[in-house]
Amino acid sequence: MLALLLMASTFLPIADASAASRRMPANSGEVWSRWLEFLRDGDVSKGRFEEVFGVELSKVQRLSDDVYRQTLRIERSEGRFFLAVVDSYPKENTYALAAIQWTSHFFDDGQWLDVVGLAPDLEAIGWTPLLAPTPVGASFRKGYAEMAYSRHWGPHFQYCGLSLRPHRFGSERLERVRLQRPM
């Protein structure tokens, strides 16, 4: 029996081995470089997201008949957290949202992203600013997609977030593209 299990394990893939092959980002600068890598490829999928960020989106929520949210939330002491989210329409093989959010002191460096440095990196890979960046946020567009960065202050931490969403399905579809707070 053991021999059969060992033989079967060589043919059956381990659940999400690609996500496990890369470590999670160690600081906010590494989050940004991986976000650029994710945008550069053009393949927006749960699998690609997990591969680039070294995470496994293990919690699955059904938001409606055709929308699923897959998330990972890592919490540390004193309310510090890292959240990764992908919303998708599996029947249509499309995504509605890919996003990450973290508190400024989740990483040991205690840093967030500097908005001024985002624009040149994004423009180098074909993204154009929608509006002039402010100290707390920026938004960019490429084709039918919009990417946003925001930073805001809470009672104890600064919160940072990056999000990517499509704009090709018309206004009725955009109503479904919202990052809701995890339950």
Task: Say if 80 falls within a structural domain.
Answer: yes
Task: Say if 65 falls within a structural domain.
Answer: yes
Task: Say if 2 falls within a structural domain.
Answer: no
* Per-residue pLDDT band at 18 (split at 50, 70, 90): very low
Task: Say if 1 falls within a structural domain.
Answer: no
Provide the domain limits for residue 88: 18-174
Of 22-31, 91-100, 141-150, 171-180, least confident by mean pLDDT is 171-180
pLDDT at 172 > cutoff 50? no
What pLDDT is recorded for position 174?
39
Asked whether the beta carbons of 65 and 119 are under 8 A apart, the reply is: no
What pLDDT is recorded for position 19?
44
Q: Per the structure, how many domains does the chain have? A: 1
Radius of gyration of the CA atoms of the chain, in A: 18
> Which of 34, 23, 27, 28 is CA-nearest to residue 160?
28
Q: What angle do CA 153, 164, 37 make, to 5 degrees?
A: 100
**Measured distance CA(140)–CA(138) in Å, rounded:** 7
Q: Which helix (H) or strand (E) holds 174?
A: helix 171-174
Task: Say if 182 falls within a structural domain.
Answer: no
Longest dimension (CA), the chain: 65
* Per-residue pLDDT band at 21 (split at 50, 70, 90): low
* Per-residue pLDDT band at 167 (split at 50, 70, 90): low
Write the pLDDT tens digit of every residue in 40-95. 877 788 888 999 999 999 888 888 888 889 999 999 887 889 999 998 887 777 78
Write the pLDDT tens digit of every residue in 108-146. 776 778 777 888 999 999 999 988 888 788 999 988 889
Contacts of 9 (CB under 8 A, 6+ apart): none
**Measured distance CA(11)–CA(20) in Å, rounded:** 18
End-to-end CA distance of the chain: 42
Task: Say if 3 falls within a structural domain.
Answer: no
